[in-house]
Amino acid sequence: MRKKGNLLLLGGIILVAAALAIGYLLSTQEAEDSPGAAAELPVGPEVGFLAPDFKLTDLDGKVIQLSELRGQPVFINFWATWCPPCRQEMPDIQSAYEKYGKTVRFLAVNLTATENSIEVVRQYMSSNGYTFSALLDRDGSVATLYQVRAIPTSFFIDAEGVIRYKYVGAMNAEIIADALDKITPP
């Protein structure tokens, strides 16, 4: 009788794990909205929604507003210098930037309120040879707007401003390239 109970418990655990995995995959898959319908979509930090607008400054003091980038795909990555998974994926983001940077806008949104100083961010980008835009989320308001619960978290936004993919955790070159290939024009 005890073996049967253990098997039932194990089966239940497997079913719950499978349901969670399917839910995660569905939340990160490509939205199936028709082209041109972006203006009718709700605004929110979820796949299939119009990406929430924001305005941040980069390390050179230049103001970047997301809505002004409409017409080109955008990759947004929330990160911090002290975050090991963020540091792990940064070389792959740089490689992707070198390949896709002419067609996709790369925005690395630094959680600046969690850093010791802006100089730490500047030094980290410079010493590692990262040349994509690092934006400063000084008060965490953009991370809050995008409901970032863990870093790194990345959003892949099409040229119409619709979030097509969301990825929580460190990505590798293959994951990044696959998502970028799907939001860039052929």
Long-range CB contact pairs, 83-92, < 8 A, 24+:
83/151, 83/152, 85/151, 85/152, 85/169, 85/170, 86/151, 86/152, 86/170, 88/170, 89/152, 89/170, 89/171, 89/172, 89/176, 90/128, 90/130, 91/128, 92/171, 92/172, 92/173, 92/176
Do 51 and 3 have their domain in common? no
Do 24 and 42 have their domain in common? no
Do 87 and 54 have their domain in common? yes
Do 66 and 150 have their domain in common? yes
Do 107 and 169 have their domain in common? yes
Residues 6+ away with beta carbon under 8 Å from 45: 51, 52, 145, 146, 147, 155, 163, 166
Contact between 166 and 46 (Cβ < 8 Å): yes
Residue 151, classed as helix, strand or coil, is coil
Domain count, the chain: 2
Predicted pLDDT at 38:
66
Do 144 and 156 have their domain in common? yes
For the chain, 186 residues long, give each residue's pLDDT as a single digit of tens: 555 544 444 444 443 343 333 344 334 444 444 455 566 889 999 999 999 999 999 999 999 999 999 999 999 999 999 999 999 999 999 999 999 999 999 999 999 999 999 999 999 999 999 999 999 999 999 999 999 999 999 999 999 999 999 999 999 999 999 999 999 987
- Domain of 95 in residue numbering reads as 33-183
Q: What is the pTM of this model?
A: 0.79
Do 41 and 129 have their domain in common? yes
What are the tokens at 100?
């896709």
Do 49 and 118 have their domain in common? yes
Do 19 and 7 have their domain in common? yes
Tell me the CATH number at 153. Answer: 3.40.30.10
Do 106 and 149 have their domain in common? yes
Do 91 and 8 have their domain in common? no
Do 130 and 39 have their domain in common? yes
Find, among 160, 143, 161, the residue nearest to 152 by Cα.
143
Give the E-state strand segments of 27-180 in sequence order. Answer: 55-58, 63-65, 74-79, 105-110, 133-136, 153-157, 163-168
